[in-house]
Amino acid sequence: MKTIAISIDEANLAAIDRLARAARRGRGQGRASRSEVIRQAVGEFVARHRKREREESDRKILAENRERIERQVSALVAEQAEL
């Protein structure tokens, strides 16, 4: 794990401290650190970003293949209707 330095405004720092205190009470353990709260937040941010990238990639693939997919769906529906 690497140590970094960041600048953060007072309002967000106070919010981080509140979250750390709440996590500490919820776990019934010692003090949750600011670092833990920030690591979790960054992890969630990265996961959301990766999900958006995958979804965008999927949308591009669907858009590029829309006509072919529509033909295949029509053929499948027609085949099912004959049964």
Cα–Cα distance, 35 to 80 (Å, whole number): 57
Domain of residue 66, residue span:
10-82
Q: What is the pLDDT of residues 7-29, one digit of tens each?
A: 999 999 999 999 999 987 766 66
Provide the pLDDT for residue 76: 94
pTM of the model: 0.69
Cα–Cα distance, 18 to 29 (Å, whole number): 15
3-class SS shares of the chain: helix, strand, coil, % to 5: 80, 0, 20
| DSSP code for 30 | S
Cα–Cα distance, 56 to 49 (Å, whole number): 11
What's the domain count of the chain? 1
How much is the mean pLDDT over the chain? 92
Q: Is residue 61 part of a domain?
A: yes
Q: Is residue 48 part of a domain?
A: yes
pLDDT band for position 82 (50/70/90)?
confident
| pLDDT greater than 80 at residue 30 | no
pLDDT band for position 31 (50/70/90)?
low
